[in-house]
Amino acid sequence: MILDPGRLKQHRQRLGLSQDALAQHCVDRHHWLSIASIKRAESGRPVLFRTARHLALVYEVEVADLMPPASRPREEGPERPDEARTVIRIVVEPLADASTPPLASMVGQYGGILQPGAGPPPHEAIFGVPRAYRSDALRSLQCAMALSDRAAGRLRVALRVEQWRPSDGEVMGSAPAWPEGPAAGVRVHRDLVVQLTEHFLFEDTGQPFLRCLARRPCEPVPGGGLVGRHFELGQLTSALETTCAHGAGHTIYLRGLAGIGKTRLCTAFVELARQQRVGLHEAAVLDYGRRVEDDPLGQWLRSLLGRAGSGARFDHRLLDRFEALALPEAHVLALRPLLGIAPSTVQASLAPEALIRQRVQALGDLILREAAVCPQVMVMEDLHWADDALLSAVAGLVRATRDAPVAWLLTSRIEQDHWESHLRPRLTDVPLSLIELGPLRDDEALALSEQFADIDPAHAALCVEKAQGNPLFLTQLLRLHPDPALPASMKHLVQSKLDQLGHGELDALRLAAVIGQRFSLPLLNQLLGSSADALLVGPTRLSLVRPLDVDTWQFLHELIRQGIYEAMPEGQRERFHLQLASHFEARDVVRQAQHLVKARSPQAPAALIRAIEERLEHHRHAEAFPLLRQLAELDPAPRDEARCHLLHARVCLAQGLIHEARHRFRLACREARHDSERIAASLGLAATLEMLDELDAEEVELQAILPLVRDRNIPESLAETHGLLGRLELAREGQARGRRCQLRALEEARLSDSRRLWIGAAIGLADALYAEGRMQEAGRLYGYCVELSRRSAHVDLEAASLVMRATTRLYAGETQASLEDGERAAQLGRQLDDRWIELRARQALAWTLLSLARHEEAAEHVETALGMVRAMGTPRPEALLLESQARIELVAGSHEAACNTIRRAWHLVRRHGLERHLGPWVLGTLALLAASPPSRRRALAEGERLLARGAAGHNRHRFLITAAEVSLMQGHPLPALSYAQRLEALQAQEPCAWMQHHARLIRSHAAWLVAPSERTLQEARECWEDGGQAGLIMTLPCLAMIYRTTPSTSHPRFPDPSGQPLADTRMMRLRG
C-alpha cells in the first residue's frame, strides 16, 4: 500500500525524531521497522501493510489515517470533448396509440441526459456523461422500467452500451442492430445484461437483446481467500513436513488449466512454509522476453543471497554476500550474469550448454549450503512459459539437491506443459509427486461465491454454473466479465473507474497500458518526463495497478489494461506508440517495429523488415516468423514486396520449409523491380532447386540470370552465380567443369573483399575436391574454412564446414575427430535454428557412429534426420539416410527390414535421377543384402557401370569395399583381390587411410580363403584389430559380425556360396 508522505512527516516531527531515531524508537518498542522502510514510506512508494501497521502503532493512529486522501473526481466534466466515451444509450419509442411520459424529468431523475431534438420519436437518452459510474447500468434500466410503467407498458425501450463523442453527441462506429417488431417492453443488450442479472430477471430467447421481466433488488459484495483444495494442500503440507523431518528432498509438480487456482494454492503453501523454520525462495517465469531482473534463476539467486525483489538496480551488497559465503571464484563468475553483471570473456565464449552446467552447479552448491543450515523450499511458478535452457537448469538443480532437505514446488499450465517432453525424462530418478489440479466441486464453488457478500445468491449460483469450477472465471464473473474480447459492459465499468482519476493520472495510466500489462516505472518516468509515483496513487487505490517490486508495476488484470487501451482516443494511442517506438529505436528493433505497427505509421513496414533482418543476422529464425506474418497482415502500405518475399524465403530455408522457400523466391522474382532484387531472387531460387534436386529447373534459372549478372559485373553476384554453376556441374558429375566454376567463384569472392563470401566459395571448391575423391585435399581446405569462420564469427559457415570435415576425417581414419566435428556441427545447427545444417550434421554423425559400432546412437540420429528430411521433401539426404538405416537394421538382426529399406533407397535414387551421385554407394549395400547370387551380380554390375560413367568420389570409397565384402562372403577371393588392387591404385594417386586399411583387410582375408593357415589367419586378425583401433569397425558389417561371433581360438566360418543371403542373421547374430 501507499501512505501519505506529508502525514508521515507530520507525525514523526510531532515526536521530534529523525528517521534514524524513529527506527531505533520502533526497535525499543518491539516494532521491527527498518530505516529503509521508513524512507520508502515517506517517499510515497509502496510498502507492506505490516510496515503501515507498525507506523500506525508508533504514531498511535489508525492505518487509514496515514493513507492519502482519495483523488477528487472531475466534477467539471471532461476537458477533452473530442474523446469518445463509453456510455449507455436508451432509445424510447411509444406505440401508435400511446402517450409519451415526461422524458426529460424522469431521465434526469435517474441521472441521465435526454438528447436534444424536437423531431418525432424515437427519443434518446445517455447515461455516463459527464462522468461514468458503476451504477449507470442499474440506473438506466431502472429509468427504462419506470418509463414503461408510467406509459402502462405502451413503450418500446431498448438499452445498450456504445461509444459516444461528447462534442457532437454522435455515436461512434456502425449503426447498432436495435430490436425490431411492434412488441412493447424493455429490452437490454446481452453485453449489458451481465451487470444486471443480480437485480433483474430476463427472458433469454437467444437474440442479442433480452427482455427484462421484473425487478429483483439485491445488495452488492466482496471476495476472499482459498476455498476447497484440502486434499492438495494436505499433500503439499505432508511433503514439507517429511522434508523437514527426514532431511531428504522432494519435488511437487503442480499443474492445471489456466485460472484453475494454481497460484492461490501455491500462495497458501508459501504461507504455511513461512510458519516453519525453513528458507523460502520464490520465482516466476514471465511469458515474454525477460530483462535480467526477471530471470527466474536470478530471482532465486537474489533470494538465496538475502536480497529477494531487489529489482533492476544492482546492489553491491550482493557481491559482499558472495565474499561472505566464500564461494569459489568459478561459481561467482557463473552467477554474476544472473545479477546483471556482464560475463567475463571466457564465460561469453562458452557454449550455452556449458554455461547452463556451470550455473546449475554454482546455484546448486549455494542451495546445498543453505540446506545445511535449515530445510529449504524452492518455488517456481508458470513453468509453461519456460524455454528449454531454463527447464534443463531447473531439472539439474532438482537432481543436484535430491539428497538434501530441499522441497521443490513447480507449477505449470496443462495447455503448454513441458512435463512429458522435457522434465520427466530428466527427473526419472528423483522423488516426485505430480498433482493435477482439477475444477472446484460445486459446493466449493458456491462457498467461493459466498465470499462476495454483496452478490445475490441466485446470481452467484448462475456464475458458478457458467464458471464450471474454474475459480478465476468465477471471480471475474462475480466482479466484472471474463470475456477476452472485452464486452461493452466491461468497457463501461473501466470507464467508471477512469472517470475518478485526474487527467495526469489518466494519461500516466494510458501510457502504462500502451507499454503492457507489466510496465517499468523508470520507463514510464522517462516517457512522461517526470516522476509517475504520485500519479499511480489513484490507480492503485482503485485496484487498477499494483507494484510488483521497486521498479515493476502490473495491471491487476489484462482485461483492465485492454479496456483502458481500447478506450483511449485513437490519436493519443498512436502518439504513445510512436513515443515508445522512438524509445526502442536504438534498444530493440523488434519492439520498435511493433509499436510503429500499432501506431499505423507509414514507417512500420520498413521497421518490420529491419527487425526481420536483425533476427536473421543473429540466426533467430523462429522469432522472424511472427514478424513476417505481421508484415503480411499490414494494411496496404508502400513497401518492397520483393524484399519481403526474399526475407520470407530465407527464413523458410533455415527452418527446413524448402518448398515454401521455392514459392517465395518465385514470388520475389515476379515482384522484383530492380536488377539487384531480380538477381538475389533468381540465385536464391536456384539454390533452393538444387536442394530439391530439380537440376534442370536450376539450370534454366541460372542461364536466364547469367547475362544480367555479367552485365552488372558485381563480384558478389558473380561469385554466387559461379558457385551455383559449379555445384550444378558436380551434381551432374562434371567434376572438372565444376572445379573450374568454383575456382572462378573463389576469384570473384576475393575481388569482393567479403570474407564471408570468400569462405563460402572456398567451401564450394572443397566440395569439388570431395566430388573428385580427393579427400585429403578437401579435408585440409574444409579445416581452413572452419578456422577462418571461427575467427570471423560466421557460425553458419563454421557449421557447414564442420559437417564436411567430419566426413573427410572419417575417410582419413580420424574417426574420433570426425565424431567431435559432427557433434559440434549438430550443436551449432540447433543453436542457429537451422534445420538444414542440423540434418547434414546428423547424417555425418550417423556414418561415424556406424563405423564405431555405436548402432543405437546412430539409429537415433538417422530416425530424427529422416523425420526432418521428409518434412523438407529433399530426396538426396533421404536416400543416404535410408542406406544407413538398412545397415543398422542388418546389424540389429532385422534382415527383411534391411532389405526393404535399401530397396526404398534405390527407388528414391532412380526416381530422382541421383544415380551418379549416390547410385554405386546404394547399389553396393543392395548387393550385400540381396537374397540370391543373380540379384547380387546385377546390383554390382550396375554399380560398376555407374562408376565407369564418372560418379561422385565417395561412391568409389564405399562401393569398392562393399563389393569386396560381397565376394569374400561368397568365398570368392579373386574378385575380392581385384577390388583391393583398385583401392591400392586410388591410394597411390592420393594417400587415404580408408582405402589403405580396407585394401590390406581385403587382401588378408582373400589370402586366408586361398590358403587357410595359422599365419594367414593371424595376419587377418591383426589387420582387423588395427581397423578397430582406428574406429573402422563396422564398415564391413557382415565380416564384422562373423568376427564378433567367432571365438579368437577358432577359424572364422564364411557362408557357403549358395543361395543363402549373405547377411542371414541365423549365422551372424551379434552377441552381448
CB atoms within 10 A of CB 632: 10
Q: Which of 292, 296, 410, 301 is nearest to 366 (CA)?
A: 301
The larger pLDDT score, comparing residue 639 to residue 1026, is at 1026
The larger pLDDT score, comparing residue 443 to residue 100, is at 443
Per-residue pLDDT, averaged over 204-231, amounts to 68
Same domain, 34 and 128: no
Same domain, 435 and 335: yes
Output the domain CATH number for residue 124.
3.30.70.1230
Output Rg (C-alpha) for the chain, integer angstroms. Answer: 38
Q: Which SS3 state, helix, strand or coil, does residue 1 take?
A: coil
Last residue of a domain, one of 597, 617, 639: 639
* Residue where the block lists cell 510496465: 519
Residue 623 pLDDT > 50: yes
Per-residue pLDDT, averaged over 890-917, amounts to 89
pLDDT tens, residue by residue, 800-815? 999 999 999 998 888 9
What single-letter DSSP state applies at residue 1033?
S
Output the domain CATH number for residue 61.
1.10.260
Same domain, 587 and 604: yes
Same domain, 647 and 627: no
Cell of 742: 568454383
pLDDT tens, residue by residue, 377-430? 999 988 877 888 889 999 999 999 988 999 999 998 775 678 888 888 888 888
Bridge partners (DSSP) of residue 434 are 253
Residue 452 lies in a domain: no
Residue 168 lies in a domain: yes
pLDDT band at 134 (very low <50, low <70, confident <90, very high): low
Residue 851 lies in a domain: no
Output the domain CATH number for residue 427.
3.40.50.300
Last residue of a domain, one of 552, 568, 584: 568
Q: Are 849 and 855 in contact (CB under 8 A)?
A: yes
Same domain, 124 and 260: no
Residue 474 lies in a domain: no
Residue 225 lies in a domain: no
pLDDT given for residue 820 in this prediction: 92
Last residue of a domain, one of 639, 661, 688: 639
Residue 924 lies in a domain: yes
Residue 260 lies in a domain: yes
Q: Which SS3 state, helix, strand or coil, does residue 213 take?
A: strand
Same domain, 508 and 613: no
Per-residue pLDDT, averaged over 98-120, amounts to 73
Output the domain CATH number for residue 537.
1.10.10.10
Average pLDDT, the chain: 81
Same domain, 634 and 675: no
Residue 863 lies in a domain: no
pLDDT given for residue 217 in this prediction: 53
* Residue where the block lists cell 542440423: 838
* Residue where the block lists cell 522484383: 672
Distance from C-alpha of 851 to C-alpha of 957, rounded to nearest angstrom? 14
pLDDT given for residue 411 in this prediction: 92
Same domain, 891 and 1011: yes
Domain range holding 203? 85-215
pLDDT band at 442 (very low <50, low <70, confident <90, very high): confident
pLDDT given for residue 822 in this prediction: 92
- φ, ψ dihedrals at 216, nearest 5°: -145, 80
User: Which of 163-172, 351-360, 453-462, 680-689 has the weakest average pLDDT?
Assistant: 163-172
pLDDT given for residue 682 in this prediction: 92
Determine the straight-line distance between the first and last CA of the chain, rounded to whole angstroms.
70
CB atoms within 10 A of CB 388: 13
Residue 223 pLDDT > 50: no
- φ, ψ dihedrals at 203, nearest 5°: -105, 115
Same domain, 525 and 426: no
Number of domains in the chain: 7
pLDDT given for residue 290 in this prediction: 47
Q: Which of 284, 326, 288 is nearest to 309 (CA)?
A: 284
- φ, ψ dihedrals at 158, nearest 5°: -130, 145
Per-residue pLDDT, averaged over 297-314, amounts to 74
Same domain, 963 and 903: yes
Same domain, 338 and 237: yes
Same domain, 284 and 384: yes
Output the domain CATH number for residue 1018.
1.25.40
Residue 925 makes CB contacts below 8 A (sequence gap 6+) with 883, 886, 887, 902, 905, 962
Q: Which SS3 state, helix, strand or coil, does residue 376 take?
A: strand
Relative orientation angle of helices 558-567 and 488-498, to the nearest 10 degrees:
80
pLDDT given for residue 224 in this prediction: 43
pLDDT tens, residue by residue, 328-348? 888 888 888 888 777 777 776
